Structures are given as structure tokens and as C-alpha cells.
Chain A
Amino acid sequence: MLLKKVERGRMINVIKEQKDAHLSRAMTTYGDYLLRICYTYVKNWTVAEDLVQETFVKYYERMEQFREEASVKTYLYRIAINNCHSCLSSWRYKKIQVIDFWGKFISLSGNPEREVLENEAEAILVASIEQLPIKYKDVLLLFHFAEFSLKEIANLLKLPENTVKTRLRRARQMVGLTLLEEGFEYGSDS
């Protein structure tokens, strides 16, 4: 009886170590990307870091369900985006936004680093992505940044594929990208 208990305890420790190792690997592989994608939604690094941490905590809790690396990536992005959506509609985030707004309003000084960066084309593009409505931001970031296919995005967001195509096209128009520039023909994600 005691032996069985010791054996079970050892097994649990082994499983935990394996899970920890998986999580470390996932955090190293996807951590930076998830942080960046979360930032484009919440525009606050501290909040984005919290959201990514929450994403990995949720992943850890359901780790046993994932066998393929592709499903892990899909799951992590889905949870991260859902967390961002929840965060954007939460009172906590709105409070932070109001405090930030008043902080900026009182100091009357912008971020010089940002101002310099905004002169660059890349910064303008990223800034325009940050300003996108959430539904367009979702598809644009998943397609271009996370490199999911249209079909995968449709599954991930639980939307029809045609809706994803339409939103992607509009999102690109909004950020000033043309289909030609991206080598993207309407109806395909080649």
C-alpha cells in the first residue's frame, strides 16, 4: 500500500516535470510572438505580459489534450486572442485606459521614442494595425503575424472561410496594404 503511494507520487512528479518542460519549450517558442500580438490589442506591455502568462497557465492546465505541435500553436493563439477580447471589455482595462489618458493629458508630452518611430514606414503600419477594429485585427494578425492559413483562422475564430477572406481584405485596405504588395490574390492565401 505504502509502496503504491510512493510509486504514484513519483509518477506525479515525473508527469509534472514533463509538463514543466513542455511549458518551458512553448514559452520559449511562442512567448515573444504572443506578447507582441497581445500588445497590439491592449497597447500596454504590463497588461500584455499578464495576458500571455494567463494564456500559458490555461495551456498548462489542459496540456494533456494536445499531441500535435500545430494544435498547440492554434490553441495558444486562440486563448491569447480570447484573453485580449475579455481584457478589452473588462473594467480593469478601461480603468487603466482612463488613467493613461489623464496621465498623457496632464503631462502634455508624448513619447519621443514613439514619435521618432512613427516617422518610419514600419511604425506607421504597426500603428495602423493597433488602431484596427478587433474583428479585423484578429484575422490580419493571425494571417500575417501568426502565419495561419485562412482555413485555420476560420476554425480558430469559428467563422466561415469567406467571412475571414472578406475581413482580411478590408483589414488590409484599412492599414493601407494592397493585395498586390502582399502577393495575395483574393480567394487564396498563397
Chain B
Amino acid sequence: MDQIRSAMNNLYKDATFSQEQQLKTFQKINEKTTRKSFMPLILTIFITGCLLFGLKTMLEQHDNVIQSASAVIYPEKSGVVKDYTALQRPWMVVGLISSVLLSIFALLAIMKKWYWRLLLCIIIIIAILGNMSERIGDRVYVQNEAEIQQAIHWGPFQLISSKMLDAITIPPYRLGYFSSGEIREIAIFKHDGKGYALDHIIQSGLENMNIIYFPETHYIVIPLLENHTIEKLVIDTGAKRMEIVIDSNSAQLVPVELEATVTPSQLIIDVYDYEGNKYSPYESSDIFSY
């Protein structure tokens, strides 16, 4: 007889698969055939439900939207919704794919009864989704001046006591003009098909307030400071000369429509005060093209 076989049989001679063990085996077989466990299925449904609920709660916590049905071309909408464009970033895509793969593995772990791996998997999924949800920004929609004033608080630079000076709409843009001490801020809302959403905030001091040019609509917007002495703006495009009368000395945004062929570098902007004096405070090179 083989040396190893005989050694093992001699050493383990007391170890036998007894009648009692055989009975236990039959009991296990009967348990399996009579009662099928629904535990993995229940767990799968429960965990999937928890994940979906958690994801929904995390992603839709600010979705409070009022939509007006009246507007046709540029429908109006107000409120704050999640901005999912962040999900298109490479690392976010990696996170999404990882979450999906981990979810599949979690299901496999349930089937294989690898509960520790399942727990680890769920923790990693929650960590990834939690991290991703933090990176998903908010999209602020505005319909009126009050909402524009509220929306400025969602911007990156929050003025402590900002005062709204003016608000204009040049479809598909809506602009809000704010002041706080020596700082001026112009919030630009762009229509995204659903409503006017906060897109950009330009912040500057009094000395370097720039004209904004919107190439899409061929408009320029000229910001005027409080208590200005300007009575008339004269804009020379080379082919055409436009005169715009300013009827108040309050701070305001003056929109001027240009012809499609005109570029900002061609513009010559002159300013006349109430005494008829002419100034040229705006250089064409300083025009900010949006």
C-alpha cells in the first residue's frame, strides 16, 4: 500500500464519516429540496432599492422647478436643478462605469453568499456615488428680477450686500447688473432650451468695466455706472452711425444691436455728456466677447 495512503489511514483511523453524518447530509438535502431560500433575492431587491433611493435623493434634492407654459420659443422656468453635464467629465465616466461593474459584482456576491465582499462593494459604491454627487453642480433658472437677485448667491463670488442695478433680456441671454461698494458684477443667464440658466458671472472694479459682445446675437451691452453724466452714446460701425440717447443717470445696461457683418474691432464708441463734451472711454480692444 502507498506509504502516504497508509500513513493517513492509520493516523486518521478514528475519523469516519459516521451514520450520524450521513443522516445530517440527508437532512441538508431535504431542507434544500423543500425550502428554497429567497434571502438572496430579497437582499438583492433591498440593496438595489436602497441604492436607487439614495441616488435619487442625492441627485434630486434641489429640484424644485416651476415652469411656465406660455412661452413658446424661449420657455421660462425658475428654480434650481442638478446640472448633470459634469457627468461627462472623464473621471466621472470612470466612476459611473466602476459603479456599474461593482453593482454587477455585488449581485454575484449575493449569489455566491460572499457577504463580506458584498458589504465592501456597497461601501465602495456609496463612496463613489457620494463623491460624484458632490461634483454635480446646480443649474439656476430665473424668470424675473427677484429671482436674478437670488441667483447671484449661487455664483462663485458672493457679494455680501449686493444691490441689483438693472436687468435686461436679449434672447437667448438675460443679464443682471449688480453693485456692492466698488465692485460691479454682471450675471449672464443663457437660455438652454428649458429656461434662462446662470451661465457666467463677470466681476470687475469701477475702472475696468468692459463692454460685452454677444457674437451669437450680434449685440453689445454697455454697462453705465451710477450718477454718470452721459447723455448720448454714438456708435460708429464704419458703415453705420448709431446714436443712443440715455434718459437717466442711473446705472444701467445699454443693449445695442449690430449688423451681422460688423466685428467689435471695427467699433468706435463716443460718449457725449449733457454739456456736449465728447469722450471716448471705451476702446474697441477692451470689448469682452462672450
Contact = CB atoms under 8 A, between A and B. Distances in A.
Given A144-B2, A147-B2, A32 B7 contact: no
A126 B11 contact: yes
Given A20-B26, A24-B22, A144-B2, A32 B17 contact: yes
Q: Which secondary structure characterizes the binding site on chain B?
A: helix
Contacts of A61: 32
Given A122-B10, A126-B11, A53 B25 contact: yes
A80 B274 CA distance: 101
Q: Which secondary structure characterizes the binding site on chain A?
A: helix
Contacts of A28: 22
Nearest to B27: A53
Nearest to A144: B4
Nearest to A177: B3
Given A53-B25, A60-B29, A35 B16 contact: yes
Contacts of B10: 122
Interface residues of B, number: 23
A36 B32 contact: no
A39 B25 CA distance: 18
Interface residues of A, number: 39
A34 B17 contact: yes
Interface of A: 20, 23-24, 27-28, 31-32, 34-36, 39-40, 45, 48-49, 52-54, 56-57, 60-61, 91, 117, 121-123, 125-126, 129, 140-141, 144-145, 147, 175, 177, 181-182
16 contacts: A28-B22, A32-B16, A32-B17, A52-B21, A53-B25, A54-B28, A57-B28, A60-B29, A91-B116, A122-B6, A122-B11, A125-B4, A126-B8, A126-B12, A145-B2, A175-B4
Interface of B: 2-12, 15-17, 21-22, 24-26, 28-29, 32, 116
